[in-house]
Amino acid sequence: MFTLISVLSLASLLLPHVLAGRNSFLRCPNSDHYHKPGSEKCCKFYALRDDLQDNLFTNHCGDNARLAVRVSFHDAIGYSKSNHSRGHGADGSILIFSDIETQIFPNLFLPPFLDQLKPYLTKYPGVSAGDLIQFAGAVGISNCPGAPRLQFLAGRPNATIHGDPTLIPSPANSAETMIARMNDAGLTAEDLVHLMASHSIAHAKNVDPTLNHAPLDSTPNKFDNQYFLEILLRGTGVPGTTKNFGEVNSGMPAQGELRLQSDSNLARNPLTACKWQSLVDDHEAMKDGYKDAMAKLAVLGQDVDDLYDCSDVIQKAPFLRSCAASYPPGKTFADVDKSCSAPFPELRSQRGQPTPIPQDY
Ligand SMILES: *[C@@H]1O[C@H](CO)[C@@H](O)[C@H](O)[C@H]1NC(C)=O
Ligand SMILES: *[C@@H]1O[C@H](CO)[C@@H](O)[C@H](O)[C@H]1NC(C)=O
């Protein structure tokens, strides 16, 4: 009897999902993964996830994770409520019609990354281009400490027309222009500010032609609030060459940080400044807001009733022990371009000397 009990309790430690949830989880065919009843269609995404993690992302919040997040936006935003011939949104057209869609500025440098994604389409035949792109974005960002676990719905049909790449916002846009573009795609100004959280893990590529990896904040490998604070710091110079399209003075040029004109505009415009400021010290709001805005973005132009939920496949991001931004060394509230009338949050200051932002791709 003693032996039987200890064998059972050992088994329940090792296989909790099998014993406790015999009724709730089922094994995917030829796999160690388990799915909920009714979602066996999600099984192919477990295999795809492991493949992407091992081979495309190497489980790392690096360049390919950043590019996957960027492509998930550039594909989906190719949608206009006022003219459906300009694109079908999150349909994978950027992959299927990459020859056309990478002809213009915001997509010019994407072909090498898209070429790395394409083989997964043939390797996983039931996965459409639109599914692959949104899935890669959600899996990619799950490598970044502090990121939310994004919703993932599957079942988008393959793109049948190319998107109009001029629908992608430009780094030189005013806040008003970007808000109007978002509204035309079915998103709000608030969604836009929440989507900017993706720039907390971003590098600018070729905005300054001499800098292929210019971070937009001091922690480009973490989904943290530094970005929302640092964009509000008064601009003092640029990290590389001057007079680049879409670039303005950054608050931390000597450390290598680059600032996009569009980011600067959103942080300071009366329409968006208070939402922006609210994200300086609230990591939960940053996470939840990004998750909700991405849930809308990822299905733009799609018929949600035809999609099925495979969010269980997406893993949790590493935990981040941080709930507010802190002033980088040498910076204080006196350096903030305060743009919202609400009181500015009290923030800690980092000690030490300003140091270059680590170059980690
Ligand atoms: C809708 O978009 C298509 C494709 O870009 C374009 O050819 C057409 O002129 C547009 N229609 C209107 C009414 O603007
Ligand atoms: C989508 O198109 C790609 C490329 O043409 C193809 O490899 C893939 O099998 C298609 N997937 C679906 C689900 O139709």
What's the pLDDT at 322?
74
Q: Please work out whether the CB of residue 164 comes within 6 Å of at least one atom of ligand 1.
A: yes
Tell me the residue type at 174: S
What is the Å distance from ligand 1's center to 159 Cα? 18
Mean predicted confidence (pLDDT) in 111-140: 97
Percentage above 90 pLDDT, the chain = 87
Q: What's the chain's Rg over C-alpha atoms?
A: 22
Q: Give, using CA atoms, the residue closest to atom 14 of ligand 1.
A: 83
The dihedral of CA 103, 179, 275, 136: what is its sign? negative
Task: Give the active site residue among 17, 35, 60, 74.
Answer: 74
What's the pLDDT at 23?
59
Q: Give, using CA atoms, the residue closest to atom 10 of ligand 2.
A: 128
- Residue of 335, 357, 226 whose CA lies nearest to 286: 226
Residue 30 has pLDDT above 90, yes or no: no
Residue 19 has pLDDT above 80, yes or no: no
| Inside any domain, residue 328 | yes
Q: Please work out whether the CB of residue 85 comes within 6 Å of at least one atom of ligand 1.
A: yes
Q: Which of 13-17, 77-81, 256-260 shows the lowest per-residue confidence on average (mean pLDDT)? A: 13-17
| Inside any domain, residue 22 | no
> How far apart are the C-alpha atoms of 358 and 298, rounded to whole Å?
31
Residue 18 has pLDDT above 60, yes or no: no
Mean predicted confidence (pLDDT) in 326-352: 97
| Inside any domain, residue 195 | yes
Pocket residue to mutate for ligand 2, from 114, 124, 158, most atoms within 8 A of Cβ: 158
| Inside any domain, residue 344 | no
For every residue of 133-187, DSSP letters joined together read: HHHHHHHHHTTSTT------EE-PPPPSS---GGGSPPTT--HHHHHHHHHHHT-
| Inside any domain, residue 20 | no
Q: Please work out whether the CB of residue 281 comes within 6 Å of at least one atom of ligand 1.
A: no
Contacts 24+ apart (CB under 8 A), 130-133: 130/75, 130/90, 130/91, 130/92, 130/93, 130/156, 130/157, 130/158, 130/159, 130/302, 131/92, 131/155, 131/156, 132/48, 132/92, 132/95, 133/68, 133/71, 133/72, 133/75, 133/90, 133/92, 133/94, 133/95
> How far apart are the C-alpha atoms of 274 and 175, rounded to whole Å?
13
Q: Which domain holds residue 207?
A: 40-335
Q: Which two tokens stand for residue 147?
A: 């990121």
CATH code assigned at 312: 1.10.520.10
Q: Where are the alpha helices (DSSP H) in 15-110?
A: 16-19, 43-51, 63-76, 93-96, 98-101
Predicted confidence band at 7 (pLDDT cuts at 50, 70, 90)?
Answer: very low
Predicted confidence band at 89 (pLDDT cuts at 50, 70, 90)?
Answer: very high
Mean predicted confidence (pLDDT) in 352-360: 89
| Inside any domain, residue 17 | no
The values of phi and psi at residue 312, to 5°, are -60, -25
Mean predicted confidence (pLDDT) in 331-340: 98
Vertex 248 angle, CA 183 and 256, to 5°: 115
What's the pLDDT at 105?
86
| 179 alpha-carbon distance from chain centroid | 19
Q: Which of 29-33, 233-237, 347-351 shows the lowest per-residue confidence on average (mean pLDDT)? A: 29-33
Beta bridge partners of 203: 215
Beta carbons of 104 and 165 less than 8 angstroms apart:
yes
Question: Model confidence over 211-231: pLDDT tens digits?
Answer: 999 999 999 999 999 999 999
Q: Please work out whether the CB of residue 59 comes within 6 Å of at least one atom of ligand 2.
A: no
Is residue 54 marked as binding?
A: no
Look over the chain and give the mean of its residue pLDDT values, rounded to a whole number: 93
Is residue 360 marked as binding?
A: no
> How far apart are the C-alpha atoms of 30 and 310, rounded to whole Å?
19
Q: How many other CB atoms are there within 10 angstroms of residue 77's CB atom?
A: 26
What's the pLDDT at 22?
52
How many structural domains is the chain composed of?
Answer: 1
Active-site annotation holds for 84: no
Predicted confidence band at 321 (pLDDT cuts at 50, 70, 90)?
Answer: confident
The values of phi and psi at residue 222, to 5°, are -130, 140
> How far apart are the C-alpha atoms of 133 and 136, rounded to whole Å?
5
Question: Model confidence over 57-74: pLDDT tens digits?
Answer: 999 999 999 999 999 999
Percentage above 70 pLDDT, the chain = 94
Length of the chain: 361
What's the pLDDT at 2?
46
Predicted confidence band at 37 (pLDDT cuts at 50, 70, 90)?
Answer: confident
| Inside any domain, residue 5 | no
What's the pLDDT at 8?
47
Beta carbons of 327 and 348 less than 8 angstroms apart:
yes
Question: Model confidence over 252-280: pLDDT tens digits?
Answer: 999 999 999 999 999 999 999 999 999 99
| Inside any domain, residue 251 | yes
- Report the helix count and the strand count for the chain, using DSSP H and E: 14, 8
